[in-house]
Structure 1
Amino acid sequence: MKKSILKSTALVLCAGLVCCLLLTAAIFDAKTTQQTETQLRSLATALGSAYDANGDADAQASQFSRQIGGLRVTVIAKDGTVLGDSAADYKTMENHAGREELKAAEGAGVGISVRPSETLGTRLMYAAVRTQGGDYIRVAMQYNGFLWDLVSLLPALLGAGLVAFAVAAFVATRVAKTVTDPISDFTESLKNVQEGGARLEPEKYPYEELQAMAGDINRMSEEIARNMRRLEREKAKIDYILDNMNEGFVLLDTDQNILLINASACRAFGVKKTEAQGKNILHATRNIPLIDGVAAVLKKGGHVAVDMPLPDKRKGEVNISRVKPEDTGAIDGGAIIIISDVTAQRNAAKMRQDFFESASHELKTPITSIKGFAELLCSDMPLGGNKQEAISKRILKETMRMSSLISDIIMISRLESGDITFEREVLDLAAVVSECCSDAAEFARSSKVSISCTTQPCVLSASHREMSELAGNLITNAVKYNRQGGRVEVNLTNENGAPCLRVFNTGEPIAPEYAQRIFERFYRIDKGRSKAAGGTGLGLAIVKHIATNYGASVTVTAAPDGNTFTVLFPVQD
């Protein structure tokens, strides 16, 4: 910009100097011409008055010339014949009857003309006057005209032009600096507008327009900076929300380029956000069903759902939907991909299926047994001795087993679904554990198992029914899965405010690979022995659910002499 200002100033200055030169030369020429005409008129008039018609005309011409400083003087007869000339041989000169100055002198008394002299070969101004005798006295002075004046003034004008150009360049540089420096400040401020721009000081600029512009830039920079910070906060909120979603989220444009991708989606694809953002979906995944689903949605619209394996052998479900251009003004259409971890749902569905299959199988056995014995009682077959009583007891046993199984199924189903809620109260867990030990004493004696119970006061807010189910199932299982002559040790302690229930039995040690599976519904290590003992396969599952509801942990530790089940409750306030 500074160069443009200097160049424009130079061009204007040159144009001004040229115009000034031409105008000065024209004025000078007009002034010189007027002065020359006046001088020649006066000289011609004076010489006309002094001319002697009876004397030697050529001698008088030479004398007059010397008297007026060597100017050319010519004496011409009224018929145009040259009678004398101070600068040339008059005898060789042609007739001057047609000269303009002579014609003008006949009417005005004094005639003026300017032309090149054929005799001397130079440009002259002539002034002719008619004498009383009718002859003409003509005075001539060299006259070069406008161009010569221009040339004669050129050195002085060039010198003045150089001085003027230097002064103008200095002034233009200073003026340009007063404009370009503020503009440079404005440019730097606008470059950093995202950070609010460099704060400008309007009062230091010399022009009101620049001061107003600086003030506007300050306000604009502040407004843009506020908007940028607001947008960054909104973007940070969106990124935070997206990155903390359990579901993976991917936004694609119509060319399948990734516009947005959150942390969950990156983990599902096994890529970094920087590796995927802005690139085609193929850079993130090569899952063929997903790629085909995206292509189908972008082409035909609608919705597509496909399965996709996730890391750590988890199961994922991908839902792909079309984004229409009219739904948002930010992008021209595209697709949204939602990746959900459905491992728990799929496992739950499988567990439900397994549960119903196991429940059906477990219920079928006693029902089939009851049905067989009932048919036997209804038949005409004679039953001698105590057979009828034995069959009735067997039917009663299977009925009780089925009733216990149904009760456990209902209990665990309601626990899992959350349909059942037990009113909690402040109770001493020691009393509940002691009660459960007393209830199991008869069963322990019949199984030839000794049972001991040691408790410490442990007060907590809990449901008496749930605590009875938890402790009762652990103690009953410890008796069932024991050996004859074995023992069960029940210990309830208060460990720094955390109730801890330990139930030990001298049964066969549980292998580590079964330590977690025994808490699954209907899972039995030795199915034949479990059924013989009358177990439903749901006791430990119920214990696990109740403990989880109270934030407690349930573990089993195997030792050569038996197993210890431990339930550790959280610290009580």
Structure 2
Amino acid sequence: MKEPLSLRHDFWQVFATYTFLLIVGIGGVWMALHFLSPSDDVAGTRRGLALAGLVSMVIGFGVASWVRAWIRDDLERSRNEILQTLEAEDSAVPEELGDSVKELRKKVSQLETDKARLSVLLGAMSEAVVMLDGLERILVANPMAEKLLGLTSPYSKRRLGEVTQMKRLTDIVSDVLWRQTATITEVDWPASHNDIRHLWVSVAPITSDDKDPAGVVVVMYDVTRLRRLERVRRDFVANVSHELRTPIATIQSSAETLLMDGMDVGPIGVEFVETIHRQSGRMGQIVEDLLTLSRLEAAGEELAMQNVEILVVAQDVLERFRPVAQKNGVSLEIEVPEDLPPVQAEPRALQQILANLVENGLKYTPEGGQVIIRATRRDSDVVITVEDNGIGISPEHVHRVFERFYRVDTGRSREVGGTGLGLAIAKHLVRRLGGDIVLESQPQKGSKFKFWLPAHEP
């Protein structure tokens, strides 16, 4: 196969030959017509020369046409050979490129499908979802967020503080971006003059591959209706408890009078009166616990915080329950270091917390067991533990024991008594004091109730 440069060289060589023949033919005719004398004898000669020139020109044209046809065929063959060679050498490249294009189209299609699904998912959510970049500019917001925040287009790429008047939310977003720590809180937002909305807000940071902050995701849920229902329930419980307190106290005092006066009501009558007295006392305790829980949930009462010595409060609580412990054959112990700093708490609240936990331990600890109050220092807090070696609690019940009226074993709970509100009250009191409470328990190995309160720093 000839190289393209050689083909061009052959073409110009033949073209020069063709041009030379054409010039010779034309030149011969011109010389014959103009340089010979115009005699009769010469006229034939001139005609002969002209004819010769014409023949030369025709022959030149014929030779040039043949050479041109030969060159065209040769060029066509060369071009075809070059194309075949290129196709043979590069046949693998288009195949690989085709596979890459197919894979790219597949990924683009998958991304479009995922985007459509995400759009449908965000649009169907009852929660408001907003994604912001590191400069607090809005990237994505679902329809619920647009409605809740009052966003109007175009809001994309605009800062959150520019499109909403919820300053508390912008402060939370800025704090999460700065600390790179997720937060969950509740925000009260005046949507209008007479409409206060209660929003549950969760803000989580987004980090890039190089661990740099890339933005945040904000999830908001309007809990206004739930809070209103909760307030109605709380008010109803408080009102009913107040209404029940007087008649229950009257029943209890009447039964107690019958027992003390020694009236002749017979053995069966005495048993009935004792049952009335016992159950009315239990009902009275439930009412008092419900009132206490309602006050704690209302969070209207301010606790008088002060420095409280845990050892003193623990000793008072154990002395209160020591007769019951001796009757049940359960020992009560205290393990509190003498150099333990006091805690920031309200004395009566701390006493009620310990009393409820100790009472719970005594109810579910068999004869020969023990209930121990421990306290240790941990960083800026004091951790207080009420531990028993009783029957314990199964893992599936651990996260529910602080719910009101929740019973792990309803049959046993009826035997040991109680209102089912003691642990719920303890949890609310601990949180009102600025701490938290957890339970660690295993069946047949006992339970550990741990709560921590801020230590007093001198």
TM-score (norm 1): 0.38
Of structures 1 and 2, the one with the larger relative CO (CA 8 A, separation 6+) is 2
Which entry has the higher C-alpha Rg, 1 or 2? Answer: 1
TM-score (norm 2): 0.47
